[in-house]
Amino acid sequence: MATSKDILTVELGSRSYPILIGQGLLGDPQSFTETVHASDVLIVSNTTVAPLYLSTLEAALRPRRTVATLLPDGESYKTLGTVTRILDVLVANRFGRDSVIVALGGGVVGDMAGFAAAIYQRGVAFVQVPTTLLAQVDSAVGGKTGVNHPGGKNLIGAFHQPAAVVADTATLATLAPRELRAGLAEVVKYGLIRDAAFFAWLEQQAEALLAGEPEALAHVIRRSCQIKAAIVGRDEREHGERALLNLGHTFGHAIESATGYGRWLHGEAVGAGMVMAARMSHASGLMPQDDLRRLVGLIERLGLPVNIPNVAAEDLLEHMRIDKKVLGGRIRLVLLRGIGAAFVTAEYEPDLLRRTLEGHLADL
Amino acid sequence: MATSKDILTVELGSRSYPILIGQGLLGDPQSFTETVHASDVLIVSNTTVAPLYLSTLEAALRPRRTVATLLPDGESYKTLGTVTRILDVLVANRFGRDSVIVALGGGVVGDMAGFAAAIYQRGVAFVQVPTTLLAQVDSAVGGKTGVNHPGGKNLIGAFHQPAAVVADTATLATLAPRELRAGLAEVVKYGLIRDAAFFAWLEQQAEALLAGEPEALAHVIRRSCQIKAAIVGRDEREHGERALLNLGHTFGHAIESATGYGRWLHGEAVGAGMVMAARMSHASGLMPQDDLRRLVGLIERLGLPVNIPNVAAEDLLEHMRIDKKVLGGRIRLVLLRGIGAAFVTAEYEPDLLRRTLEGHLADL
């Protein structure tokens, strides 16, 4: 059974890898022929996704020996303790250094399966099979793996690139509407960072995307992966340009940590975080008022929250201070000169950051 | 206070780093000038080493902010749980991505501090300050970090090169005699792998080394680090030549796991493991009888065990099967064609391995 697909490449020299995008890919043995050479495969999934797709994936991976381990679903389980369970399964099944881990699920599953792959026997190969929009457009690509610490989001982890990303767009048909909306926040991010035309296209297609229109979603995945693959190819370890991809994330991580992991979806927090970054940029005289209006309008039309109820500014600030973007004691932020024009800076009025967190900056 | 020192370099392109070797280096601020640029330093040590050297090291690192965390002493504590404690201290003290971890202690401390550095914020810098002979000649150099799993030695970990290795030979004066002997086993390994002249020198100097004669020990550290640095520089990730450094280790790890971590010192297990590898090599018609005699003689003169009492061959075999050297289901071993001539192979009589483990192969 051959399926039509797009193939993009993340160019990283000897660690380059393909991103396959198309309908039905996770059930197609050809999706894994080139990249899963191992005879032993551990599939890591969760209790929500596995009933839908695990048996299809297992069939596609035959005749390899597959073992599956299912994690509880949700960001609150993205801990070192859960990764330890994956490692225990690998040891119990005598998996060697030449085995492969396949992540079947959303960002949480991918982050933990990838981290387990990074630290088992000092590194084994892994393949991402993302089943949420957020994972397909963002977290499955680029090799950031890890878990949360009670003190902060993604504080424990490693850079470990996958051997392949297999994005089966058919899985989006079963995605909960709230998860779809959360994924669209990361899509908006790409337009906001460096592609004003893509942002304008999203404004036109918002309703089609929310309705789950396959052609519109396929375009969104392709364009997002193109932008991310290019940036990661130039700056794998985030010494420079890659930091732009954190637009909205320093704010967003603080929201997630301060409210307890799992209450806000990651994409929701990023959406509200981008609005905060834009409001602060506008108040600094950087971002035109019309651009701020357009962003808030699009986030609202996508059904995503733009404000953060019930969190003290001091709480958020405390969580931002331990975020990975802190260097030399200063919190670095991604701010905007307008739609399509993001930049990284630690030069801003500290009081403006506090007022942003207090929600005292108006949209207009 | 300037101290005289030798400087070797591990050549790894942008990740190259110096190995400083000399008396009194850990108390010399200059040892850290070039490599510890951070203002925040976490010192990881243990309850045995800290009372001897922690305050000296802290003084040398001033005016940087130092925080110290002390681990319990011993291989049985080399677990993911102990690494979690290090991570908790980093988070609690708001250490950023630009902080540095300094490992002050033996191989266990270095492996765990290095692994914490590898996975905190997806990687921070670390410096090895090894205080045992084993760590100075072997484990502090080369970037292998990690912890044990109940199912096998060093099964969880990462490659993460230090920014520098500061080997203060004065620390060997306080080393327990058993620890000194265990370190000498790894030294013998270098001669056995690829330097017959060094092996012969060790035969001549065995008594001086056991007596802790500083000049003899300094030579041993320099020569061992030269050999290891050259091999690591050519094969950082152990795709080929570096596997030779595992001589005696597949046997040794099985001894450590099967007897419960901490009963045998790592170096003791490696010493007995090298004897097993040599006996098996001799029984395969590879290693001359005289070379085997010389090895057993040297190991015995160094006061190291050559036999393994009270462990069933099947137990050892079971632990060898999960060791990292297994590929495609076959246990790869480092065997010997003679002193100075080691090679990696999975081609041997399975029955010969079993008889080796049963201790049925005579020395002569």
Read off the tokens for B226. 């030269």
- Confirm or reject contact between A37 and chain B (CB < 8 A): no
- Confirm or reject contact between A15 and chain B (CB < 8 A): no
pLDDT score of B4: 79
Phi-psi region of A135 (alpha: psi -120 to 50; beta: other; left: phi over 0): alpha
In a domain, B167, yes or no: yes
Half-sphere exposure of A130 (CA within 13 A, CB side): 30
Read off the tokens for B252. 């040794």
pLDDT score of B183: 98
d(CA B9, CA B19): 6
- Confirm or reject contact between B80 and chain A (CB < 8 A): yes
Query: Is the Cβ pair B326, A118 closer than 8 Å?
Result: no
d(CA B271, CA B278): 11
- Confirm or reject contact between A121 and chain B (CB < 8 A): yes
Contact between residue B141 and residue B19 where contact means Cβ atoms under 8 Å apart: yes
The angle formed by the CA atoms of residues B264, B72 and B217, to the nearest 5 degrees, is 55
d(CA A224, CA A133): 11
Same domain, B158 and B198: no
Pairing outcome for strands A100-105 and A333-338: unpaired
Backbone angles phi, psi at A40, to 5 degrees: -115, 125
Chain B residues with CB-CB distance to A154 below 8 A: 122
The mean pLDDT of A218-233, rounded to a whole number, is 97
Query: Is the Cβ pair B94, A157 closer than 8 Å?
Result: no
pLDDT at residue A361 is higher than 70: no
In a domain, A201, yes or no: yes
Check which CATH number belongs to the domain holding A184 and give it: 1.20.1090.10
Same domain, A45 and A155: yes
Same domain, A94 and A214: no
Query: Is the Cβ pair A119, B157 closer than 8 Å?
Result: yes
Nearby residues of A177 by Cβ (< 8 Å), 6 or more positions away: A210, A303
Same domain, B45 and B72: yes
pLDDT at residue A363 is higher than 80: no
Backbone angles phi, psi at B157, to 5 degrees: 175, -170
User: Which of B156, B174, B192 is at the close of a domain?
Assistant: B174
Closest approach of A238 to chain B, Cα-based (Å)? 11
Q: Examine the residue annotation and report whether A249 is marked as an active-site residue of this protein.
A: yes
pLDDT confidence bin for A310, thresholds 50/70/90: confident
Read off the tokens for B57. 């090291």
Dihedral, CA atoms, A87, A93, A97, A102, nearest 10 degrees? Answer: -70
Tell me how many domains chain B contains.
Answer: 2
- Confirm or reject contact between A144 and chain B (CB < 8 A): yes
C-alpha pair distances (Å), B284 with each of B112, B275, B316, B330, B353: 38, 14, 20, 18, 10
Q: Please, what's the b/e burial string for B73-91 (b: 16 or more CB within 10 A of its CB; e: otherwise)?
A: bebebbbbebbbbbbebbb
- Confirm or reject contact between B324 and chain A (CB < 8 A): yes
Q: Could you say which of A75, A238, A256, A268 is catalytic? A: A238
Count Cβ–Cβ pairs < 8 Å, chain A vs chain B.
Answer: 94
Interface subset of B 39-68, CB within 8 angstroms of A: 39
In a domain, A74, yes or no: yes
The mean pLDDT of A291-319, rounded to a whole number, is 92
d(CA B98, CA B120): 11
C-alpha pair distances (Å), A61 with each of A1, A37, A99, A168, B316: 13, 10, 13, 15, 33
Report the Cα B81 to chain-centroid distance in Å. Answer: 21
Instruction: List per-block mean pLDDT (blocks of 10 residues) for chain B, which spans 364 residues.
Output: 81 96 96 92 97 98 97 95 97 92 98 98 97 98 96 94 98 96 98 97 98 95 97 95 96 91 92 96 96 97 90 88 70 96 93 86 56
Same domain, A188 and A330: yes
pLDDT confidence bin for A325, thresholds 50/70/90: low
Contact between residue A97 and residue A90 where contact means Cβ atoms under 8 Å apart: no
Residue type, B177: P
- Confirm or reject contact between B85 and chain A (CB < 8 A): no
Query: Is the Cβ pair A329, B118 closer than 8 Å?
Result: no
Same domain, B87 and B166: yes
Q: What is the largest CA-CA distance in chain A?
A: 61
Chain A residues with CB-CB distance to B123 below 8 A: 158-159
In a domain, A347, yes or no: yes
Interface subset of B 93-112, CB within 8 angstroms of A: 94, 96-98
Report the Cα A129 to chain-centroid distance in Å. Answer: 13
**Where is pLDDT greater, at A2 or A224?**
A224
Backbone angles phi, psi at A264, to 5 degrees: -95, 135
d(CA A340, CA A223): 14
Residue type, A2: A
User: Which of B154, B174, B194 is at the close of a domain?
Assistant: B174
d(CA A326, CA A219): 35
Strands of the sheet containing A40-46, edge to edge, are A6-10, A17-22, A164-168, A125-130, A100-105, A40-46, A65-71
The angle formed by the CA atoms of residues B171, B173 and B177, to the nearest 5 degrees, is 115
Nearby residues of A123 by Cβ (< 8 Å), 6 or more positions away: A117, A160, B158, B159
User: Which of B140, B174, B208 is at the close of a domain?
Assistant: B174
DSSP of A55-120, one letter per residue? HHHHHHHTTSEEEEEEEPSSGGG-SHHHHHHHHHHHHHTT--TT-EEEEEESHHHHHHHHHHHHHB
In a domain, A364, yes or no: no
What's the mean pLDDT when you consider all of chain A?
A: 94
Q: Examine the residue annotation and report whether A268 is marked as an active-site residue of this protein.
A: no
Instruction: Closest CB to B119: pick one of A94, A123, A156.
Output: A156
In a domain, B1, yes or no: no
Contact between residue A321 and residue A331 where contact means Cβ atoms under 8 Å apart: yes
ipTM, interface predicted TM-score of the complex:
0.93
Query: Is the Cβ pair A96, B152 closer than 8 Å?
Result: no
d(CA A177, CA A195): 26
Same domain, B11 and B133: yes
Pairing outcome for strands B6-10 and B17-22: antiparallel
Range of the domain at B273: 177-357
Same domain, A145 and A219: no
Nearby residues of A116 by Cβ (< 8 Å), 6 or more positions away: A44, A83, A86, A87, A90, A101
A177-186, A247-256, B75-84, B322-331: the lowest-pLDDT one = B322-331
Nearby residues of A187 by Cβ (< 8 Å), 6 or more positions away: A133, A137, A202, A220, A224
Whole-model pTM: value is: 0.94
d(CA B246, CA B291): 19
Positive or negative CA dihedral for B68, B69, B72, B74? negative
Query: Is the Cβ pair B91, A151 closer than 8 Å?
Result: yes
Same domain, B115 and B54: yes
Q: What is the 3-state secondary structure (H, E, C) of A296-335?
A: HHHHHHCCCCCCCCCCCHHHHHHHHHCCCCEECCEECEEE
Q: Could you say which of A144, A160, A181, A282 is catalytic? A: A144
Instruction: Closest CB to B98: pick one of A154, A158, A327.
Output: A327
d(CA B221, CA B208): 14
List of E strands, chain B: 6-10, 17-22, 40-46, 65-71, 100-105, 125-130, 144-149, 152-159, 164-168, 326-327, 330-331, 333-338, 341-345
Check which CATH number belongs to the domain holding A120 and give it: 3.40.50.1970
- Confirm or reject contact between A346 and chain B (CB < 8 A): no
DSSP of A235-282, one letter per residue? -TT-SSGGGGGGTTHHHHHHHHHHH-TTSS-HHHHHHHHHHHHHHHHH
d(CA B196, CA B226): 15
In a domain, B364, yes or no: no
Same domain, B104 and B184: no
pLDDT score of B359: 80
Backbone angles phi, psi at B100, to 5 degrees: -130, 140
The angle formed by the CA atoms of residues B61, B63 and B69, to the nearest 5 degrees, is 55
Chain B residues with CB-CB distance to A87 below 8 A: 80, 149, 155-156
Q: Examine the residue annotation and report whether A241 is marked as an active-site residue of this protein.
A: no
Same domain, B331 and B353: yes
Chain B residues with CB-CB distance to A157 below 8 A: 119, 121-122
pLDDT score of A329: 66
Query: Is the Cβ pair A119, B151 closer than 8 Å?
Result: no
pLDDT score of B217: 96
Nearby residues of A85 by Cβ (< 8 Å), 6 or more positions away: A69, A71
Residue of chain B nearest A118, judged by CA positions = B158
Same domain, B191 and B324: yes
CA-wise closest residue to B223 among B184, B251, B255, B266: B184
In a domain, A337, yes or no: yes
pLDDT score of B189: 98
Query: Is the Cβ pair B119, A92 closer than 8 Å?
Result: no
DSSP of B294-329, one letter per residue? HHHHHHHHTT---S-TT--HHHHHHHHHTSTTEETT
Contact between residue A35 and residue A18 where contact means Cβ atoms under 8 Å apart: yes
Report the share of chain A in percent with pLDDT over 90.
83
Instruction: Closest CB to B91: pick one of A84, A92, A322.
Output: A322
Nearby residues of A18 by Cβ (< 8 Å), 6 or more positions away: A7, A8, A9, A10, A34, A35, A164, A165
Q: Please, what's the b/e burial string for B120-151 (b: 16 or more CB within 10 A of its CB; e: otherwise)?
A: bbbbbbbbbbbbbbbbbbbbbbbbbbbbbbeb
